[in-house]
């Protein structure tokens, strides 16, 4: 047991020596790993922020059904009951003509002309039902119900969740999907590139030390003892790359919040992103280092298995 522990310590020490010896080549490998891990972390935080933003927006979305003045209270209550039976309906709120007028006055409190104009006529605003869906992207069942002839004749105008309003929400959802997929593609591409660079770095190190490795094999060194330092070297690459990527992303959000002096930048809520980063900091640290180590160790394992077997078998 003690012998194995001493061997492990020697392998780790040799790995750090390799890291210092191949630092010039290692910088290129670490640079690509840093880019890969930075894109990955930024994509995760940005995606969480986009989802949070859309949830805030969709929570305020409702379908306004404008009723004719001739609709009786009994028929209105029947309509509300039927709407509540729909699985995608979260709530139904009735807004009377008087309430609609008060809301209109509050919204146009700074526009004297509009207030004067509406005060000189009978209340022209219709009563309405505000239908809040669970999922705004799945309102077909609600729309189909509202478009039935006997329901349509109760309405004085088209429902509010149509036209430009629906198009804007759909575009936000599409933008989020695009950024998520683009981030995933970027991570995969840079991950492959970083693995190839590490693979070639280890191959060059093996080639430069081929005589030394051959002597070690002839003297009875095991495959693990020869291969281990190369794996330790790339694990160090992964640790450094993970720490650097975390620092870069943290600095990026801090500078963005300070530079723009606001809590948001388009769909990216900088304040929420910073809170997400802070709340899950240690989980992010662990995940970034783990992924960096996994990329490095996998690339090194494949390279040493392919080339050490050939170089050291003479």
**25-80 pLDDT tens trace:** 778 778 888 888 888 888 788 777 777 777 777 666 778 888 888 888 888 888 88
Give the Å distances, CA to CA, from 297 to 290, 303, 305, 309. Answer: 10, 10, 12, 17
What pLDDT shows up at residue 310? 44
What pLDDT shows up at residue 158? 67
The SS3 assignment for 108 reads coil
Q: Is 67:310 a contact under the CB 8 Å cutoff?
A: no
Domain with CATH 3.30.70.3040 in the chain: 62-160
| pTM score of the predicted model | 0.63
* Orientation of helix 23-59 relative to helix 270-279, angle to 10°: 120
| CATH tag, 62-160 | 3.30.70.3040
What pLDDT shows up at residue 259? 58
The SS3 assignment for 34 reads helix
In sequence order, the 6+-apart residues with CB closer than 8 A to the CB of 55 are none
What pLDDT shows up at residue 173? 64
Q: Report the alpha-carbon distance of residue 155 to residue 146 in Å, rounded.
A: 9
Tokens of 56: 């805030």
Q: Report the alpha-carbon distance of residue 214 to residue 220 in Å, rounded.
A: 10
Residue carrying the six token digits 């160090």: 236
In sequence order, the 6+-apart residues with CB closer than 8 A to the CB of 152 are 146
Question: Pairing relation of β-strands 89-95 and 63-67?
Answer: unpaired
What pLDDT shows up at residue 160? 63
What pLDDT shows up at residue 264? 52
Q: Report the alpha-carbon distance of residue 8 to residue 10 in Å, rounded.
A: 5
Q: Report the alpha-carbon distance of residue 76 to residue 210 in Å, rounded.
A: 87
Low-confidence stretches of the chain (pLDDT < 70) are 1, 58-60, 114, 117, 120, 136-137, 157-170, 172-173, 175-176, 180, 183, 209, 257-269, 307-314
Residue carrying the six token digits 């028929």: 75
Counted residue by residue, the chain has a size of 314
Tokens of 47: 């995606």
The SS3 assignment for 132 reads strand
Identify each DSSP E strand in the chain by its residue range: 63-67, 89-95, 127-133, 264-265, 268-269
Q: Is 61:133 a contact under the CB 8 Å cutoff?
A: yes
What pLDDT shows up at residue 258? 64
CB atoms within 10 A of CB 264: 15
């Amino acid at each position: 047991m003690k012998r194995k522990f001493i061997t492990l310590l020697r392998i780790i020490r040799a790995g750090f020596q390799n890291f210092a010896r191949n630092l010039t080549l290692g910088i290129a490998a670490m640079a690509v790993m840093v880019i890969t891990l930075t894109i990955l972390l930024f994509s995760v935080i940005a995606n969480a922020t986009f989802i949070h933003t859309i949830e805030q927006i969709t929570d305020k979305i409702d379908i306004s059904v404008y009723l004719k003045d001739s609709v009786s209270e009994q028929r209105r209550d029947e309509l509300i009951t039927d709407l509540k039976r729909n699985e995608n309906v979260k709530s139904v709120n009735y807004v009377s003509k008087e309430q609609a007028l008060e809301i209109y006055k509050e919204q146009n409190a700074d526009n004297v002309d509009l207030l004067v104009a509406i005060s000189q006529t009978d209340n022209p605003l219709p009563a309405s039902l505000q239908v809040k869906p669970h999922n705004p992207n799945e309102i077909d069942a609600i729309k189909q119900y509202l478009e039935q002839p006997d329901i349509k004749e109760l309405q004085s105008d088209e429902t509010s969740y149509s036209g430009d309003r629906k198009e804007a929400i759909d575009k936000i959802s599409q933008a989020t999907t695009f950024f998520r997929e683009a981030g995933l593609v970027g991570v995969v591409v840079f991950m492959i590139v970083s693995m190839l660079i590490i693979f070639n770095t280890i191959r060059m190190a093996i080639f430069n030390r081929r005589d030394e490795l051959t002597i070690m094999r002839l003297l009875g060194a095991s495959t693990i003892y020869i291969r281990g330092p190369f794996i330790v070297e790339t694990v160090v690459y992964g640790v450094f790359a993970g720490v650097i990527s975390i620092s870069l992303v943290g600095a990026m959000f801090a500078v963005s919040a300070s530079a723009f002096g606001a809590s948001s930048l388009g769909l990216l809520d900088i304040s929420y992103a910073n809170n997400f980063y802070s709340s899950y900091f240690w989980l992010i640290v662990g995940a970034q280092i783990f992924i960096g180590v996994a990329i490095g160790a996998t690339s090194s394992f494949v390279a040493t298995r392919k080339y050490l077997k050939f170089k050291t078998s003479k």
